[in-house]
């Protein structure tokens, strides 16, 4: 049963959102682009981040020893210069002779640019000059033997600042590999009414480290009529066509 209970501009782009490296797919390519009007000087390195309930946090030294994929990988180039509108390809590959350990490891490819002098306004003054450096990252997942499995956990309806319904869903990873996909939310009214697509939350990853991850899907509704709410965790990328889990929740008639 469910009941209702009461960004910043980027000057560098990194795509795609993630890559998976394995013995069968030993290399991958990211694209770094410069949509700004200035020349960007950047460097490429690794950072190890632990999965948290609603994002990432710095990984402890103990966790890094079993989590980090960086010791098994090589990235090139190590630095770059990009003219306005230009782009480069960054290659990540398995080290020659290296074998991915069983299960899964993860490091984040970190793209950092040199600080640039930027003007900002300040009330009652002529303004300030500050140095701003930029950084973006994307997970690189190293996989050995294992399988992915995940289930939909604690789920509840919340409301945003405008009073619209938001579905908060926990995804619990259960296999030796992380799961990746999207959450799809549909409403099935009582009787013969039409099934309504309420929302989709993309880029939903459930990792092998950390607690169940929580995601919010805006539904754009003040209330839901009587019926059933269907929540599906559908695979994307390498899991395209797979449904990890699906749950139905009863929606009672509003008084």
| Cβ count within 10 A of residue 152 | 18
C-alpha distances in angstroms, 153 versus 63, 126, 140, 235?
A: 25, 53, 26, 16
84-131 pLDDT, tens digit per residue, is 999 999 999 999 999 999 999 999 999 998 765 454 554 445 554 444
The CA R_g of the chain, rounded to the nearest whole Å, is 22
Chain center to CA of 158? 21
173-232 pLDDT, tens digit per residue, is 999 999 999 999 999 998 778 899 999 999 999 999 989 999 999 999 999 989 999 999
Domain residue spans in the chain? 13-143, 150-251
Q: Which CATH number fits domain 150-251: 2.60.40.10, 2.30.110.10, 3.40.190.10, 3.40.440.10?
A: 2.60.40.10
For domain 13-143, the CATH architecture is Sandwich (2.60)
pTM: 0.85
């Amino acid at each position: 049963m469910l009941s209702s209970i009461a960004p910043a501009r980027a000057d560098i782009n990194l795509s795609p959102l993630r890559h998976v490296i394995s013995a069968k797919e030993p290399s991958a390519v990211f694209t770094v682009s410069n949509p700004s009007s200035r020349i960007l000087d950047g460097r490429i390195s690794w950072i190890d981040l632990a999965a948290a309930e609603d994002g990432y946090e710095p990984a402890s030294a103990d966790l890094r020893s079993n989590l980090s994929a960086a010791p098994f990988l090589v990235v090139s180039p190590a630095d770059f210069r990009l003219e306005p509108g230009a782009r480069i390809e960054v290659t990540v590959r398995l080290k020659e002779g290296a074998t991915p350990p069983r299960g899964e490891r993860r490091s984040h490819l970190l793209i950092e640019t040199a600080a640039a002098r930027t003007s900002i306004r300040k009330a009652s003054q002529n303004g300030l000059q500050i140095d701003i450096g930029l950084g973006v990252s994307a997970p690189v997942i190293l996989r050995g033997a294992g399988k992915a499995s995940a289930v939909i956990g604690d789920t509840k309806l919340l409301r945003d600042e405008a009073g619209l319904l938001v579905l908060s869903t926990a995804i619990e990873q259960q296999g030796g590999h992380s799961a990746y996909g999207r959450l799809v939310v549909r409403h099935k009214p009582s009787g013969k009414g039409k099934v309504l697509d309420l929302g989709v939350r993309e880029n939903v990853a459930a990792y092998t480290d950390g607690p169940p991850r929580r995601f919010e899907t805006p539904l754009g509704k003040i209330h839901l009529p009587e019926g059933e709410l269907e929540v599906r965790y559908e695979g994307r990328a390498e899991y395209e066509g797979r449904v990890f889990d699906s749950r139905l929740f009863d929606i009672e008639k509003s008084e």
